[in-house]
Structure 1
Amino acid sequence: MIKADQIVPYSALYIDMQYRHLFNTLWSYLKPIDQDKYIQQIEEVWLGGLKNQKILVTLCVRASTDLVLQALNWPPGSEVIITGINIPDMVQVLRLNGLIPVPIEVDPHTLGCTLDQFKKFYTEKTKGIMISYVFGAKFDASEIIDWAKSKGLFIMEDEAESFSAPNAKLNPNVDFSTFSFGSIKTCSAFGGSISVIRNNEALYRKMKAIQETYPKWSQRNYFKRTLKNLIPMILLNSRTINRSSRWIFINFFPNWDYKEFVVNSIRGFQKNPDDILQTYRFRVPDPMLVMLALRMKTFDTDQFNMSISRQLVGQSILKKGGLLVPGHAVEDRRFWLYPVVVADPETTYKVLNSRGIDAYMGVTQLDIVESPIGSSYQYPNSTLSYFKNILYLPIHQNADLKSIQRICKEVVEVVEMLKSQHPKL
């Protein structure tokens, strides 16, 4: 039986939300709010007075993408070149809008793509590109963006996983960006996305006109979701409760995958099976707007940067131990998830969990993007070769330095142990 003091008091799942934000959101149900006032607050914090840029607030990043694609109204069969690791729902949004997503390889060291790859898959049908910065690694895409501009392509950046801070420097050469600010470390529990439209007043007006035809998402449903996520927050984010509850799971329910259960219970929006796009075609409820505005106003940049510096210490330990940390070579490094590539993720996962380290695998929303059916485009096999061996570590912004060091050292130790037992690994 594993002892309680052996358990690292951080869960693989972590809800990136403070109780004051949650309770202020609940308080907002008691009185009507001025939506324009809160949107203006968000705009002031996010854009910092930048001109020629507009924002729209939507339910989620998928909703933002669907909105801009409706406004662009490209001919059916048009192609969009996208990074080969993405959220399946994003790919589905493209396809349901009549477009063909063309995936390209993602380099394991930068989690980025090369200009040559974009050029290779560029055709007369290409209308735009979508660059997604996954796992918090924001690679330098300036060369790709300049080339896309020269070809007259529309440029979309999905920065949901590379968030650094409100009013962070935005790339003026990108046409459209989406940010997720109400996120948790494995899925969107509370929703909320901010779209930035640059230098295109006509596009902004089209998107806004379409959005205004949507009904408002039910405040009752959002209230139920908020209450529903309160219990997971208490169980996952409290060090004491987390340690105690996981001790019970490990010792008395070793075969129960609580992580999969929690993720499925709080993940995203319930899809409409008859019309999946209709799932996202709603305006945000008032409490979600309050939550987004409050989180941006109270964001502590210094604390955030300190947490990143602690997480980079762990990355250094893993690299010195000979392990690949996807995105390690990128200077602008954040950690939305904390991935490491191991030869045998399933066995490593089991050993680490038996040692009280709550590693996890297979519950993230990200996946490999399939190539178009019947096409000559190449499947991103190089990306798949390391993606299938990724293990996620219980390291997030609240994890203390000592725990991060222990987690990473034990990962290196376990990998070496398994390698000595099975040399072929």
Structure 2
Amino acid sequence: MVWWVYPYACLNIDCGWFEWLRALRRAIYTGEKRAVLLQNLTKAFSNEDNVIVSISVRTAFDVYLQALNIPKGSEILMTAINIPEMVRVIKLHGFVPVPVDVDVNTLAVTPERLESAITDKTKLILATFTYGVRYDLAGIAKVGKKYNIPIFEDCAEGYVGPSYKGDPNADVTVFSFGPIKHATAFQGAVMIIRNNPEILQKARKIHDSYPVQSGKIYLKKVIKYSGGIVLLNLRWLNYILRPILLNIGFDYKKRVVSLLRGFAPGQGLEVYRFRPCTAMISFLYRRISHFDDKKFYKGMKSIQEGTDILIKGGVTVPGSNPKDRTFWLYPIVTKDAAKAYDALNNAGIDAYQGISQLYAVPVPEGSKCPKPDKAYEMFKNLLYLPIHKDVPHKDIVKICKHTVKLLNPKL
């Protein structure tokens, strides 16, 4: 029986109630000028007029693939840790997704590993930064230039405020502002296209041809995700509700995760082919222009201290080597995920399995590319801990020490 819990969930909606009310007000009515808002967002991300604001990263990726206009059957090299929907977008275009393995300690793809996967069919490199890890793309960019292959930098999980606007070595950078991302606008993405005015013009023309998504749809999203704020962010509710649900065996985690999905899985590309409504653009600009750097990095510092405790205690934390890492979801790798899951939850630590869509990308049938064994092995025993920037420092320390005690009792 569980009678006490740490009142934090693995997922966190980065939006307080005052900000949510601002989103609601805009979703009901906004008199702001769309063109001015888009211009302001462009200035926030680039010194050039090369920014496209879309409803999602998948929309941006779909637009870019159309503008790139590569032959059917082309191969796209991608970080082996990714989400199924990015793989599906690639396949729906008639291309072949080829996973490239990562190092568990850095979550980075090495230039050498990437180059060994290139064939005469390779037309794009999709470098995805997962779990808040970023790494220098200079080495990968050299490989791209050597073979004349553009680099698409997927920073969907990596927005850290105005201090990072994408790696200049990348031909494209995208940021996400979906429901569980930093500075969430409950929807939306920003794509920056560099070095190729022709591709930029084509992408703009394609995106501008899409209808504007109904403001009613955005209003429904804002209302829907208020439920996530209640279930995930309210500590007193976690104190009361979680022990009850755990003791009756109700799988509330699946319900919460399904609530937070931005799109229903398995749909065609047409579901992404809309432009954002003015209300969403307005709220996105509000989140960007009021981003609190000090609070953000204070939270990251606390998480890094917790990471040091886990590593010293023998717990594997993927991507722990980069010291400038900004944490989003917090993964750990255990010897036995099922056993660790039960131990942590029985101790009141809200560990999750399968909370994220992230997975190890399968090798395409008939491909001679090496299997991403490190990514496969990592996902066999992957868990997520309830650690994020809004968890107080003292509780991060307690959760990490408690986790070490449960998972490495010899210490």
Conserved? CA contact 1:163–1:179, under 8 Å: yes
Q: Is 1:319 the counterpart of 2:311 in the alignment?
A: yes
Say which of 252, 255, 264 aligns to 1:258: 252
- Give the aligned residue type for 1:2: V
In the TM superposition, residue 70 of structure 1 has moved relative to its aligned partner by 0.4
> Which residue matches 1:20?
18
User: Residues 168 and 101 of structure 1: is their aligned pair in 2 closer, same or farther, counting only changes over 3 Å?
Assistant: same
1:39-188 alignment runs, 5 A limit: 39-47=38-46, 50-51=47-48, 54-184=50-180
Instruction: Give the secondary-structure state (helix, strand or coil) at the position aligned to 1:135.
Output: coil
- Give the aligned residue type for 1:9: P
Instruction: Give the secondary-structure state (helix, strand or coil) at the position aligned to 1:316.
Output: helix
Q: Is 1:341 the counterpart of 2:337 in the alignment?
A: no
Q: Is 1:281 the counterpart of 2:273 in the alignment?
A: yes
Instruction: Give the secondary-structure state (helix, strand or coil) at the position aligned to 2:408.
Output: helix
Q: Deviations over 1:341-399 (max 9, x none)?
A: 11111111111111111111112110111111122222212221122211100011110
> Which residue matches 1:246?
242
When structure 1 is superposed on structure 2, of 370-379 and 308-317 the one drifting more is 370-379
Tell me the percent identity. Answer: 38
Conserved? CA contact 2:75–2:96, under 8 Å: yes
Structure 2 CA distance for aligned equivalents of residues 322 and 172 of structure 1: 37
Equivalent residues, number: 409
1:372-387 alignment runs, 5 A limit: 372-387=364-379
Structure 1 CA distance for aligned equivalents of residues 266 and 343 of structure 2: 39
Q: Is 1:222 the counterpart of 2:221 in the alignment?
A: no
Structure 2 CA distance for aligned equivalents of residues 369 and 142 of structure 1: 24
Unaligned 5+ runs, structure 1: 421-425
- Give the aligned residue type for 1:266: L
Structure 1 CA distance for aligned equivalents of residues 265 and 110 of structure 2: 34
Hey, which bits of structure 1, 4+ residues long, moved more than 4 A?
none
Conserved? CA contact 1:235–1:242, under 8 Å: yes
Conserved? CA contact 2:133–2:327, under 8 Å: yes
- Give the aligned residue type for 1:136: G
RMSD, aligned α-carbons: 1.9
> Which residue matches 1:2?
2
Q: Deviations over 1:123-160 (max 9, x none)?
A: 11111101001011112332111221222111100011
- Give the aligned residue type for 1:373: E
When structure 1 is superposed on structure 2, of 239-248 and 64-73 the one drifting more is 239-248
Q: Deviations over 1:92-150 (max 9, x none)?
A: 11111121111111110000111111111111111110100101111233211122122
When structure 1 is superposed on structure 2, of 65-74 and 13-22 the one drifting more is 13-22
- Give the aligned residue type for 2:326: R
Say which of 322, 342, 351 aligns to 2:343: 351
Structure 2 CA distance for aligned equivalents of residues 369 and 123 of structure 1: 19
When structure 1 is superposed on structure 2, of 235-244 and 368-377 the one drifting more is 235-244
When structure 1 is superposed on structure 2, of 223-232 and 310-319 the one drifting more is 223-232
Conserved? CA contact 1:45–1:167, under 8 Å: no
Structure 1 CA distance for aligned equivalents of residues 192 and 20 of structure 2: 25
When structure 1 is superposed on structure 2, of 293-302 and 169-178 the one drifting more is 169-178
- Give the aligned residue type for 1:333: R
Structure 1 CA distance for aligned equivalents of residues 117 and 377 of structure 2: 21
